[in-house]
Amino acid sequence: MKVTFPHMGNAWIVIQTLFESLNVEVVVPPSNSKQTLTMGTRLSPESACLPLKLNLGNYLEAAKEGADTIVITGGIGPCRFGYYGEVERQILRDAGYDYEVVTLEPPDGSLLGLAKRIRYLAGKDNSWAQILKALRFAYRKSVAMDRVEDLIHAARPRLPIPMETEKLYHDAKRRLAQTMSDKGVQDTVRWVQENIRERQEELGTPPEGFQKPLRIGIVGEIYTILDPYTSMGLEEELGRLGVEVDRSIYLSGWVGNHVFQGLAPGYRSIKSYPSHAKPYLPHFVGGHGQETVGAAVKFAQEGVNGIIQIFPLSCMPEIVAASVLPKIQEAYKVPIMTLIVDEHTGQAGIQTRLEAFVDLLERADLQRGIGQTRGDVLSVEGR
Amino acid sequence: MREDKYFLGVDVGSVSTNIVLLRSDNTVEETLYLRTQGRPMQTIQEGIKLLRAKMRKSAEIIGVGTTGSARQLAATLLGADVVKNEITAHAVAASRVNPEVQTILEIGGQDSKIIILRDGVVSDFAMNTVCAAGTGSFLDQQAARLGIPIEEFGPLALQAKHPVQIAGRCSVFAESDMIHKQQLGHSLPDILAGLCQAMVRNYLNNVGKNKDIQGPIFFQGGVAANPGICKAFEDELGQPMIVPEHYGVMGALGAAYLAQEKVGMRPEMQSRFRGLHLAETQFQAKSFECSGCANRCEVVEIMQDETSLARWGDRCGKWSVDVSADIRTGIKELKGGQRGA
Ligand code: SF4
């Protein structure tokens, strides 16, 4: 058995770790690219959303490296993602690929069913104790990954040379992917922190009238938020425009809530979103629609300068959320912009919208005046 | 002396390239409107050539701003002092013309946008670049199909007695529906007025959705020349449309104002403008796909003779020789302190 899985941002680091610690052979597909999308689009129904198209592309690319089993997570409710496992299985079969598909979800909400599937993947050689240990380690790595992402979000607008920041991020990801010990994981986080602090110190005292970077909260469909290829490098681009971003969903927060059924909180737990969403969207609409609304409310209450919602074309839960967001914009007087992506989205169009949005926030911020302390400005300790 | 100094604003879009020459007393000296026709570099050069023919020998350009979808390209060729997106440029131009303006409806050849201003500051915006049913080229096509010059489109529409209902959701439906109405024997003015209404409905549903449209409303972009569309907007919104004098070149005008803002801030600053002789300079553009990582960026490079003037399109900064790197920081200088660095 050679296991593969679809890409979603940095999730590969965690999934690879899980299987490697169980000695299961795993194929990490080549990162999402134009080629991935082209291959996937060819097999997909025109109206399918972007994640499905990229998933299929990932499998085709992984098949070239000998993968024969696919592991994906499932979902419930009106979002199509819930049956992607099945749809993808059939599309691949029709296209002549002999793939087995294992959906990691708690079937009928029972953790026992989930355990059975994990057991199947792990094979006979692994004891339950080993499986649990591997799960726990992978999970801790994912929390660390989220922590690193957050540090990079804070560093981007504060460090002068974007290329160096991206290199730091890249190196940190490589380190995290390689290490197989808790110490290695913790060291990497510390290493990133140290690195940022040192570079800031080199910069010396900021001049008079120094301003805290703008803050933008990113909400929307999980795949689009977590996968920089899909979002056209949204976070990086904003960082370069001098903005610190925060997002509604981090991988470990989502895994903790959905796969482990809330047994683990993860980084920036997403549990509180439904209650935040209550006044605007009191019920579940599938996917992350309600979380999007809840996160927008939470961000607004925390006083971010602006909010960006991003989702793939035709994503129903997000369309519902998008129709509610203007009320939040009105209630909290916080600008909210919606971006929709599909395989025809051009970088230039996204760029223009982001620049204009940041212009809008900067002009508004200018009038609010300045007067932050050095501590405020240099703090990258996360919040 | 001062009156011989000018600011140049250039707006390069996919359909048209607009150029504005602004006097230092804030009045417009010259406006040019050229068709881009898929050749932005040549169009920009041709524009400069036309401009030079009109300017006095002693005239001097002391600040340059660019905007539009090819703003980066234009900035490289011209040596711009400020590069800004279209939303900001249009908003700046409109609020300079009338500080009271609260809404800008802008419909150009390829795209359309709405900008909401409060107290002279952009507070909300939306733009639509994919749906062709709400843009100038749609009107051009329909006028051609009906065999009337586009200039007569608006005046004829105004003569309508009973505008017909035309499906405006999509340009394909609108077109077939229009043909159908024509076959039923409706009069030309009634059909034209119906088209105007369909287009306005489409715009308000797609671009203007959820936006708080309040007066005074500016209507700008090439389509503002069409009184039929103007009337359809007025009927739909119950408010008068103000069409500013330079409605067709507001983006370029905004870019010129932005250049003026920037230079005015620091009088000792030397413009990067490369001179009016750039019409004779040979530029080459090429692009390649980087294979450095999975991003596979499409990198664009502009060369003059054998030297590289600028490269962009890479996500990681590996290739950028970015003319605009320090232009982009303009707004930061404006605050007297850099952001975050
Ligand atoms: S330019 Fe940089 S980010 Fe783009 S493909 Fe090359 S190495 Fe990757």
Burial of A77 (0-12, 13-18, 19+ CB in 10 A): middle
Regarding pTM above 0.95, the answer is no
Q: Report which of residues A203 and A158 the model is more confident about.
A: A158
Beta partners for residue A100, in sequence order: A69
Distance linking the first and last C-alpha atoms of chain A: 43
Q: What pLDDT band is residue A346 in, cutting at 50, 70 and 90?
A: confident
Q: Are B312 and B73 in contact (CB under 8 A)?
A: no
- The model's pLDDT over A21-35, given as tens digits with 9 standing for 90+, comes to 888 899 999 989 888
Chain A interface includes B291 (CB < 8 A) = no
Q: Are A57 and A40 in contact (CB under 8 A)?
A: yes
Query: What was the pLDDT predicted at B339?
Result: 35
Query: What was the pLDDT predicted at B27?
Result: 86
Mean pLDDT by 10 residues, chain B (341 residues): 79 90 86 86 89 84 90 88 92 92 89 88 81 74 83 85 78 75 80 86 84 90 89 92 93 93 75 81 85 80 82 79 48 35 29
Judge if the beta carbon of residue B315 lies within 6 A of ligand 1: yes
Give all strands of the β-sheet with A306-312 in edge-to-edge order.
A243-247, A214-220, A306-312, A336-341
- The model's pLDDT over A294-336, given as tens digits with 9 standing for 90+, comes to 999 999 999 999 999 999 988 888 888 999 999 999 899 899 9
Q: Report which of residues A62 and B304 the model is more confident about.
A: A62
Round to whole Å and give the CA distance between A27 and A69.
Answer: 10
Other beta carbons within 10 angstroms of residue A371's beta carbon come to 10
Contacts of B294 in chain A (CB under 8 A): 30-33, 229
Query: What was the pLDDT predicted at B154?
Result: 85
Query: What was the pLDDT predicted at A210?
Result: 58
Q: Inter-axis angle of helices A84-94 and A50-63, to 10 degrees?
A: 50
Query: What was the pLDDT predicted at B91?
Result: 93
Q: Is the pLDDT of residue A81 over 50?
A: yes
Q: Is the pLDDT of residue A253 over 90?
A: no
Residue for token pair 């999509």:
B170
Which three-class secondary structure string do you get for chain A?
CCEECCCCCCHHHHHHHHHHHCCCCEECCCCCCHHHHHHHHHHCCCCCCHHHHHHHHHHHHHHCCCCCEEEEECCCCCCHHHHHHHHHHHHHHHCCCCCEEEEECCHHHCHHHHHHHHHHHHCCCCCHHHHHHHHHHHHHHHHHHHHHHHHHHHHCCCCCCHHHHHHHHHHHHHHHHHCCCHHHHHHHHHHHHHHHHHHHHHHCCCCCCCECCEEEEEEECHHHHHCCCCCCCHHHHHHHCCEEEEECCCHHHHHHHHHCCCCCCCCCCCCCHHHHHCCCCCCCCCCCHHHHHHHHHHHHHHCCCEEEEEEECCCHHHHHHHHHHHHHHHHHCCCEEEEEECCCCCHHHHHHHHHHHHHHHHHHHHHHCCCCCHHHHHCCCCC
Q: State both tokens at A109.
A: 């909400």
Nearest Cβ partner for A355 among B85, B293, B313: B85
CA angle A46, A50, A52 (to 5 degrees): 85
Burial of B143 (0-12, 13-18, 19+ CB in 10 A): buried
Q: How many CB pairs under 8 A join A and B?
A: 100
Chain B 11-50, residues with CB within 8 Å of chain A CB atoms: none
Q: What pLDDT band is residue A252 in, cutting at 50, 70 and 90?
A: confident
| CA-wise closest residue to A245 among A258, A231, A264, A229 | A231
Contacts of B86 in chain A (CB under 8 A): 352, 356
Angstrom distances, CA of residue B264 to CA of A22, B240, B259, B269, B275: 66, 35, 8, 9, 20
Q: What is the DSSP letter of B164?
A: P
Query: What was the pLDDT predicted at A366?
Result: 53
- The nearest CA of chain B is from the CA of A208 a distance in Å of 7
Angstrom distances, CA of residue A366 to CA of A134, A173, A376, B17, B264: 50, 36, 17, 32, 19
Chain A interface includes B245 (CB < 8 A) = no
| CA-wise closest residue to A366 among B257, B339, B258 | B339
Q: Report which of residues A207 and A376 the model is more confident about.
A: A207
- The nearest CA of chain B is from the CA of A114 a distance in Å of 33
Contacts of A356 in chain B (CB under 8 A): 85-88, 122, 125
